[in-house]
Amino acid sequence: MGTSSRAAAGALLAVSLAFGDGALALGLSRAPAGAPNIVVVLLDDVGFGAAGSFGGPIPTPALDRLAREGLRYNRFHTTAICSPTRAALLTGRNPHAVGVGAVLNSASPQPGYEGVLRPSAATVAEILRQNGYATALFGKWHLTPDWESSPAGPFDRWPTRQGFDRFYGFLGGETDQYEPTLFEGTAPVARPARADYHLSEDLADQAIGWMREQHAIRPERPFFVYLAPGATHAPLQVPAPWIERFAGRFDAGWDALRGEILARQKGMGVVPPDTQLAPRPAALPAWEALSAEEQRVAARLMETWAGFLAHVDAQVGRVVDALDALGVRENTLFVYIAGDNGASGEGGLLGAMSYMGRIQGIDEGGALRAQRLGEIGGPTTYPHFPAGFAFALDTPFPWMKQVASHLGGTRNGMVVSWPVRIRERGGLRSQFAHVNDIAPTLLEAAGVRAPAAVNGVPQQPIDGTSLVYSFADAEAPGRHRTQYFEVNGNRAIYRDGWLASAFHGRPPWVLLLPEGQRAFSQDVWELYDLERDFSQSRDLAAERPEKLRELQALFEVEAARNGVLPLQESGQRGGLPSLHGARAHFRYGSGTGMPEPAAPALVSRSHAIRAEIELPAAGAQGALLALGGSSAGFALYLDAQGRPAYSYNLFQVERTTLVAAAPLAPGKALVELDFDYDGGGAGRGADLTLRANGEIVASGRLARSAPVFFTIDERLDVGHDSGSPAGPYPATYRFTGAIRQLALELR
């Protein structure tokens, strides 16, 4: 383009920006006049009775502040587990209807559970983007299939292909809060280098910086921010001062805490005055049944969780402050959802220092938990709290995360603020609402109609109902009249105040499928009148059998329509695409990396690692191959003295390290590790042999190994170690020599 052509184009752009009519022709779409900025915050694994704004024991000043100027919703529902909730939130559809009926890590070929977002269900981010909004996601995604999460793509189900101009966060269900596995767009990036780093603070920093930049460059253009921190999902990691705020606060235990929360909820008016506590599940022990040592560890884990929630709420408060500083908060629709499901009982009955180990049946034991009490919340543990405290944080409801049949799994507090439109300050809304209502709410608020087609693909109907009707009228009849729920066979159906529930029998602290799981036909259905029984505490199945039959029939209709049937157990799933298939030989160069779910399967099988390297005259150190992180994993590396070494971390319960007696000489070298697995099942032992230049330099024995996986979000890395360190070395630990080739062989 010549100088005169560029000048003419610049003049045309200036006219278009000034007058607007030519903007679409130049690709500068404009949002409807007066369209608000939108911020949606979705916390992770927070129960209805946790936040102070809903009667909980943890102060949440940011949530309180927004509630004082807006509305609290006390009958808002999620799906009971993370990926389906996020799919429903972003698309406005039921999760099974868009292919995400299960958490991404347990998808299956059945259409409702395949874990692949459908093009016929465009996200609200994509629709807003095409209607003039700047869009960004900061934090957790968990909607990319495992086989699409490597650098080879495809990237269709990554945030930047799902409507977000900017993505800064993590792909999986969780990540280390001090050394997270981060992406910028589709590229892995290191976290900012500072000693006091924490992911929740980083995400807030990134969101604030992006909003400021957008407003400075195009102040007339509204933005949509989706802020999805990792808190309060395990690992429970937060700076010690936040934990100390709650020292001794939970020493009376979870049973006493439930009564305390309910009393506060009644006093605040967020539950009716006649609300009763739902009974504690028989399999969940009373606080008094724990030993003094078990109580001490459990209380400290709960203090850590409380600090984690208080800390992340403070970061949300910084985002609110930034909106104030920009002068845009009056016309910002702020949706703050306190949890993508109920509080999590996946930490087991006593809690765990290594969450990932516990869910695979590797328990460190009470003595080790007590010895490591002072480490809880720091970078050396990957902890989770006991299921009893999760149950307390779901007060007044029965059950917790994963249990989609009961409100402890699906009822979450939500606050909506929009000062220019919501005139009632501090109001309470009790209309039935579901997470699939969020997308249509955002579209109506923005003045944007749901399109019939997006990017040439006809769109399936939106299942949710906009909540804008409730903004000005607390007494407006609810418009979301019917909603099914299903996770891992736990299922329910809501219709006009009635709820029929069927719990499938596996408690949420038992994550590996037990033997002899009962058939779905053996599940017992319960019936609740939620208009008169807010807490789902009085089963009316025997009194109203005809109503129960009516709702059971309705569930079958809704389940068939949405792709829920046939019902499945998560542990029975399989047959999904594999990135590697039957391939057994791999060759990598330095810098290669991919999330563990996309990496060759090295757990519970024999394998060999062969690293051809070259060392400078001064010697070298650093990771040659690392898989996993500080919670669990292994690494082949050269230590600080330049000696070949191999370390295997079994969920912080056992660590086996082999180290050669002497460093490698400068020049070319060959480092090899043979992992000879015993076989006979998952998690068995193995013989380890470390070689340097063909000579055995160390050997050892694992009595047991990781049964299924090391982590969800950490990576396999060649030539460095991203995320938290898998070996006993500093973070990153980049190899200072040259890797000519690293070979993996599966045997």
pLDDT computed for residue 584 by the predictor: 96
Alpha-carbon distance of 648 to 659, in angstroms, equals 12
Burial tier of 326 (Cβ tally within 10 Å: 0-12, 13-18, 19+): middle
- What is the bridge-based pairing of β-strands 525-529 and 585-588? unpaired
In order of 615, 732, 747, the CA distances from 621 in angstroms are: 9, 12, 28
Alpha-carbon distance of 675 to 605, in angstroms, equals 8
pLDDT tens for each residue of 276-296: 999 999 999 999 999 999 999
Alpha-carbon distance of 231 to 235, in angstroms, equals 9
Query: Is the pLDDT score of 15 beyond 80?
Result: no
DSSP state of 108: -
**Amino acid found at 460:** Q
pLDDT computed for residue 5 by the predictor: 41
pLDDT computed for residue 271 by the predictor: 98
Annotated catalytic residue: which of 82, 198, 215, 233?
82
pLDDT band at 573 (very low <50, low <70, confident <90, very high): low
pLDDT computed for residue 12 by the predictor: 37
Query: Is the pLDDT score of 18 beyond 60?
Result: no
pLDDT tens for each residue of 152-163: 999 999 999 999
In the chain the first and final C-alpha atoms are separated, in Å, by 58
Chain mean pLDDT for the chain: 94
Distance of CA 110 to the CA centre of its chain: 23
pLDDT computed for residue 510 by the predictor: 86
pLDDT band at 705 (very low <50, low <70, confident <90, very high): very high
pLDDT tens for each residue of 63-103: 999 999 999 999 999 999 999 999 999 999 999 999 999 99
pLDDT computed for residue 351 by the predictor: 95
pLDDT computed for residue 569 by the predictor: 77
pLDDT computed for residue 370 by the predictor: 86
Domains of the chain plus CATH, in order, are: 38-472 (3.40.720.10), 484-572 (3.30.1120.10), 585-746 (2.60.120.200)
Query: Is the pLDDT score of 13 beyond 90?
Result: no
pLDDT computed for residue 3 by the predictor: 42
Query: Is the pLDDT score of 10 beyond 90?
Result: no
pLDDT computed for residue 170 by the predictor: 97
DSSP for 21-65, please give it.
TTTGGGT---PPTTPPEEEEEE-SS--TTTBGGGT-SB--HHHHH
pLDDT tens for each residue of 120-157: 999 999 999 999 999 999 999 999 999 999 999 999 99
Alpha-carbon distance of 624 to 638, in angstroms, equals 8
pLDDT computed for residue 27 by the predictor: 60
pLDDT computed for residue 7 by the predictor: 43
pLDDT computed for residue 45 by the predictor: 98
Nearest to 99 by CA among 84, 111, 87: 111
Contact status, residue 503 vs residue 403, Cβ threshold 8 Å: yes
Q: Residue range 440-451: average pLDDT?
A: 98
Greatest alpha-carbon pair distance for the chain in Å reads 84
Q: How many CA atoms within 13 Å lie on the side-chain side of 73? A: 27
Give yes or no: 480 in active site. no
Helix or strand run (H / E) with residue 9: helix 3-19
3-state secondary structure 279-322: CCCCCCCCHHHCCHHHHHHHHHHHHHHHHHHHHHHHHHHHHHHH
The answer, as to whether pTM is greater than 0.85, is yes
Token duo for residue 459:
């769109």
Q: Residue range 395-423: average pLDDT?
A: 98
Query: Is the pLDDT score of 193 beyond 90?
Result: yes
pLDDT band at 11 (very low <50, low <70, confident <90, very high): very low
pLDDT computed for residue 369 by the predictor: 84
Contacting residues for 320 by C-beta, under 8 A, at least 6 apart: 62, 65, 66, 329, 334
Nearest to 341 by CA among 140, 551, 541, 525: 140
Query: Is the pLDDT score of 323 beyond 50?
Result: yes
pLDDT computed for residue 106 by the predictor: 86
pLDDT tens for each residue of 476-495: 999 999 999 999 999 999 99
pLDDT tens for each residue of 227-275: 999 999 999 999 999 999 999 999 999 999 999 999 999 999 999 999 9
pLDDT tens for each residue of 612-656: 999 999 999 999 999 999 999 999 999 999 999 999 999 999 999
pLDDT band at 17 (very low <50, low <70, confident <90, very high): very low
- What is the bridge-based pairing of β-strands 71-77 and 427-429? parallel
* Residues 267/272/275/281 CA torsion (nearest 10 deg): -90
Query: Is the pLDDT score of 431 beyond 90?
Result: yes
pLDDT computed for residue 23 by the predictor: 46
Give yes or no: 82 in active site. yes
pLDDT tens for each residue of 30-40: 999 999 999 99
CB atoms within 10 A of CB 274: 10
Query: Is the pLDDT score of 14 beyond 50?
Result: no
Burial tier of 479 (Cβ tally within 10 Å: 0-12, 13-18, 19+): middle
pLDDT computed for residue 25 by the predictor: 45
Token duo for residue 587:
């060759």
Query: Is the pLDDT score of 515 beyond 90?
Result: no
pLDDT computed for residue 514 by the predictor: 56
Alpha-carbon distance of 445 to 424, in angstroms, equals 17
Q: Residue range 729-736: average pLDDT?
A: 96
Query: Is the pLDDT score of 356 beyond 80?
Result: yes
Annotated catalytic residue: which of 77, 142, 198, 720?
142
pLDDT computed for residue 367 by the predictor: 76
Query: Is the pLDDT score of 362 beyond 60?
Result: yes
In order of 200, 488, 592, the CA distances from 589 in angstroms are: 33, 40, 6
